[in-house]
Amino acid sequence: MTLLELEDVTASYGPVQVLDGVSLSVPENGAFGILGANGAGKTTTLRAISGAVRTGGRIVFDGKDISGMRPDQVAALGIAHVPEGRGSFGDLTVRENLRVGAYLRKDRKGIDEDIDYCLDLFPNLQDRIKSNASALSGGEQQMLAVARAIMSKPRMLLLDEASLGLAPSTAKNVYDAIRRLRLESGIAMVVVEQNANLAFTVVDDATVLETGRSVLTGTSAELKGMDEIRRAYLGG
Amino acid sequence: MEKFVQLVIDGLSTGSVYAALALAIVLVHSATGLVNFAQGGMAVLAAYVAWVLTNQGVPLVLAILASIVFSFLLGAVLERFLMRRFERGDPDTAVVVTIGLLTLITGIAGWLWGYNNQQFPSLFPLDTVSLLGVSVSIRSIGTTLVIVVAMVAMQALFVGTKLGLALRAVAINPQSASYSGLPVERLLMVGWGLAAVLGAIAGALVAPQLTLTPGMLDNALVYALAAVILGGLTSPVGVVIAAWLIGVLENLAAVYVGFIGFDLKVAVPFILIFVVLIVRPQGLFGRKTVVRV
């Protein structure tokens, strides 16, 4: 069953066309990667799904056309966006950040259980639970951003460059946790990454964007085998 | 000694006036990330609404309640139709808009009701009671109590409730808040509305003392901003204590420090601000903001 479908989605910032007809499809429980260089339109694709930019074309989630919806309405349907730059609430504590993530939920007990789950998934956050988010390291803030998204009990996670600016070992920790999350929860994912190696540890299928258009789509295994992908995105 | 106690108590009473306005400023800052210079003007407008109603024979308490409802709507409408245009841009622009709004509201109030001082009835009786050997007006006690209740309520709202948490989150990072499903625009409207309500309460409390004029709160706004800087923009309890401190120190300095006297007592809060900004820039009670890059 297809959970998310993008059909010929376009988007522009002022006169600059950033997405020039992106199509992709993510099955229920699936994980889909979006690879590509800077400025290829990866982040804009996620922002289009979230309703943070105006778009053309069709975006269908769970059988419902969501194009034109506001970000909070999209979130209410079960899509949690982990934005580039992590989007922490700096003056709020880690616990408060997690509570904001659970804003749409009313099940107090479930929320507490999920906070415990997040702290188990990201043990680093356990010691910092009362710290302000602004005092966390980059890696911890990334973990908090993913945890905040989990707190909304989403059906789909949009992950934007979770490795950006992190030391390689920290980035690997973050992706290990994301892979574990996927196995344990079955949450579907759209993973935007410049570091294709990391993305392939999580996703089943992926597409390569160039100047706002998919130039290549395939399974992880197929893409990993292609010379041009190796040269451009896998470092050799 | 008696003189000292009297000065302290009078100081607390004027300090409460600054505190009321300072709380409104903190509320709107916590909920929208802006310092709203129009806060005083909006409070004056609310006081005029209550005044007009009492002149029509409406009982004072009902008139004040009506002005509170009016203020909530005014705050929400101002956010929806004016401030929203500036929220996504440079925060400095939005702050300048609030300064313009202050001038505009003061002008409208003057145009509608003139610039003459108007008598505003007091919520509390003017009798005095004896406390520690000095006489204290019941009005001072009442004003102070209302401020303490407002402060506790506000602290509870921001720290203890989901709405308060949501308001803070929206003020810090609206984009991220919307990704978590928070209805950002509605929350900003509520934040402005609540701050205007607090302003209306402040206006109704101080109008009897200051007598009602369009510029009634201009002076108090300066002291309130001083209290906000002293107490820290993030701390309701802090700004109230700072406002009381300003009221008391100002009185004491005028009497006990020869070269200050009554003419220079207006300088006291500014000297305090100067010292605090050097020694503890986040304010006496504010949280330090750490930014990692």
The DSSP annotation for B153-164 comes to HHHHHHHH-HHH
Asked if B78 contacts B89 with a C-beta cutoff of 8 angstroms, the reply is no
Closest by Cα among A210, A233, A229 to A218: A229
User: Which portions of chain A are predicted below pLDDT 70?
Assistant: 231-236
pLDDT at A136: 94
A230 burial level (CB within 10 Å; 0-12, 13-18, 19+): middle
> Distance (Å, rounded) from C-alpha A123 to C-alpha A10?
40
Summarised one tens digit per residue, pLDDT across range B67-110 is 999 999 999 999 999 988 887 778 789 889 999 999 999 999 99
pLDDT at B285: 72
The DSSP bridge partners found for residue A25 are A5
Tally of structural domains, chain A: 1
Q: Which of B169, B175, B183 sits opposite A100 (nearest CB)?
A: B169
Closest by Cα among B210, B196, B222 to B51: B210
CATH number of the structural domain spanning residue A216: 3.40.50.300
* Host domain of residue A224: 2-92+154-233
* Interface test with chain B among A73, A74, A89, by most B beta carbons within 10 Å: A89
Partner-chain contact B182 A100, CB within 8 Å: yes
Contact list in A for residue B182 (CB cut-off 8 A) is 72, 100, 103
The CATH number that domain B2-279 falls under is 1.10.3470
* Interface test with chain A among B176, B187, B291, by most A beta carbons within 10 Å: B176
Answer yes or no: is A123 within a domain.
no
Chain B: closest CA distance from residue A228 (Å): 35
Contact list in B for residue A50 (CB cut-off 8 A) is 179
Chain A: closest CA distance from residue B168 (Å): 8
pLDDT at A155: 96
Contact list in A for residue B169 (CB cut-off 8 A) is 89, 92, 100, 103
Contact list in A for residue B176 (CB cut-off 8 A) is 83, 87-89
pLDDT at B44: 94
Q: Which helix (H) or strand (E) holds A13?
A: strand A2-13
Cα–Cα separations (whole angstroms), residue A204 to A63, A127, A179, A227: 22, 34, 11, 19
Partner-chain contact B292 A134, CB within 8 Å: yes
Contact list in B for residue A85 (CB cut-off 8 A) is none
Beta strands in chain B (DSSP E): 128-131, 134-137
Asked if A101 contacts A148 with a C-beta cutoff of 8 angstroms, the reply is yes
Answer yes or no: is A124 within a domain.
no
Answer yes or no: is A116 within a domain.
no
Q: Which residues of B touch A (CB under 8 A)?
A: 162, 165-166, 168-169, 172-173, 175-184, 234, 287, 289-292
pLDDT at B293: 42
Quote the pTM value: 0.86
pLDDT at B126: 81
Residue of B nearest to A84 (CA): B176
For residue A211, give both structure tokens: 């100047």
Contact list in B for residue A138 (CB cut-off 8 A) is 292
Cβ neighbours around B208 below 10 Å, total = 19
Partner-chain contact B175 A135, CB within 8 Å: no
> Distance (Å, rounded) from C-alpha B251 to C-alpha B241?
15
Chain A: closest CA distance from residue B34 (Å): 15
Closest by Cα among B147, B194, B146 to B166: B194
Summarised one tens digit per residue, pLDDT across range A222-231 is 988 887 777 6
Q: Which of A72, A81, A83 sits opposite B182 (nearest CB)?
A: A72
Partner-chain contact B182 A134, CB within 8 Å: no
Partner-chain contact A132 B177, CB within 8 Å: no
Partner-chain contact B180 A83, CB within 8 Å: no
pLDDT at A127: 93
User: Which portions of chain B are predicted below pLDDT 50?
Assistant: 290-293
